[in-house]
Amino acid sequence: MALVLGLGGFVLTALNRTGSSPAQTVMLGGAFLGLTVLMHLWVRYTAPWADPVLLPAAVALNGIGLAMIQRLDLAYEVNEQWQFYVGAKQLIWTLLGVILFCAVLFLLQRLPAPEALGPLGHVVRPGLPSSCPSCPSSVRASTAPASGSGSAP
For residue 87, is pLDDT > 60? Answer: yes
Taking the whole predicted model, whether its pTM rises above 0.85 is answered as: no
Q: What pLDDT, in 10s, does the model give residues 59-76?
A: 888 888 888 888 887 777
* Percentages (nearest 5) of helix, strand, coil residues in the chain: 70, 0, 30
Decide: 47 and 109 in contact? Cβ < 8 Å: yes
Q: What would the DSSP string read from start to end of 99-144?
A: HHHHHHHHHHHTS--GGGGTHHHHHHSTT-GGG-TTS-HHHHHTTS
Which of 31, 13, 113, 23 lies closest to 73, judged by CA? Answer: 13
Q: What pLDDT, in 10s, does the model give residues 137-148?
A: 444 444 444 444
**Average pLDDT over the chain, rounded to an integer:** 74
